[in-house]
Structure 1
């Protein structure tokens, strides 16, 4: 609460009691994030799915601290940034989206497998993984896995091609920091460490928070429709702390659901009931649902056959979709023989027949 004070002049008389009543005002613990984009009408996702909107718009009631905003629109490269939210303040994000001119893919494998893959700070899934729909040119590839050094390098993506990157991760020797592995049931919870957004829990494996200085931290998990989960985590140098939470539903009368949508390759457009929602991997909370209606999900990526699924979604349900996209195979075209080619072939056959008869 905010500090309350009031000034009184003079001193109370003998035997007098002055009643003082203080109405305390709670300290504002939240702020807002205003998101605009060019072009407008893009999908903006807060903390990888905790909330979402269509630009231009504002995320309200956002807890103070560091957050992530990702903006995407079909036909454009995604935009991602970290933003600090102060109590009672409004932070501004403006995303200038770059139209796709030429794109390619990046296939990343690691030893050991199961490392978190980030391309230009945007999470793409766990290795081994193909990151698709990337703009031609240089990209920063980062791999994270508990017990191993973070790996980062620049990779080049070529037009309409898949570039390959194979990485052997190096174990941490003489460590001065520790790691935290975080998971939850259901998955798709946003994770905050001392108020800073670190990622989200995943159905495919834990969230790796690497390179954490030794000490005690407050870890919070948030997922719409569930109570916040808070715990203290002790991090020691050279060790991995594990946090696994069974999230408790906030209410039995909820009318919202959540979804986690993955694809191989990643970077595919996601449409729910023909409305664009973002690119894979994608998490969405606060999805209003009607248990009497059927919902359709379509996942599209250039050069691949679209993936479609439909069904009824119940309030409180966490839908997980893993789509293995199939490349479109171009039909083989047969070029008809020209008349000259046919005549030449017949003449050659006749010539060989004459030679064979002479030999007989």
Structure 2
């Protein structure tokens, strides 16, 4: 023991392999020798023990100076040929988080705010999820009419979310599961007004004009009837997109002539197309009904561009037309009041909201529509030309009074029906932006079904509807 310049006996233990171990309980610098007669520590394993003692107590801030005054010099440790020492380890490399990818959800209360990411408008509104963003610091800003912008800086090092409160009016909440919805709606109008509305052959307790919200995404048939009124077409097929509302208009007048034409395109085989700005889920090749003769057109969407082709008046019923589409050099700036309305081109819902410039549109006629939750959708035809500047179109949206309907059940996972149709949702689920009024709600579970008549959805509040199948 260096502190007392004396040798002290240590208690040792032997294991079955012949190794000798001991414990020194106080920090310091020590020399070790082995044997009752005080011989120096031998080579091999015991020599390694001496080296280990020196190394261990060096961790306490003491440094071995080699030969100690008054002490016998320690024997040089000799490695034991049978002992395998660990290889020196290399410190792990620093993780470059910017090379990793994460998802970022942006939510606001109320929803519908414009989202800027790292200083640029994304063309999207809250709630929205941005996938596969690079890790690191990002700046998120949300904007809404009547309120100043709100900014948040976030270190993205995992899948994360940003929640922002924006001063505003009535709100359904954050709508965390909004992008998981399976339903949308249709705004049914007529001239004259007051026509009874039928959805997929079933009369609903609504008259035109009316928002029918809660229809499962996909193809539906809308029909209207009014005494003493003959409509040019009393039924229309519509394609419902989730979280959006499409507009359909019925006008009185003579019945329009239609042609049944088969459209083919080798270049765009299996790509979706629309007729006269109305997308109905059709893909090439397909036989469809074309209403009217002059001014009819077909538009194909290839995932990047919107290309139209004017349908010849010479094409007759039962003809097959091989369509050749033009280039798409035009751009269109779409704005609305309020902003944040989802934009559609010829019936194809884009991923962008106003104000935004939609690129890659062909020359000619196009039907532009906008839809925003809580507002009546609107649309307008535009004619684009290549040699002109970017086209522009602006919409003014009118609000409607809406409420929410919360449907739950015991047990859960029961199917929910509105307007006599499956909504695509199961309990528990809350429907937002329903037009106020009376609803018939049907809940279908494994053991049966329950129908609730006259469920009243009140303005800007939530109405509950509960089905208990456990008691059956």
Structure 1 length as normaliser, TM-score? 0.33
| Structure having the higher Rg | 2
User: TM (normalized to structure 2)?
Assistant: 0.26
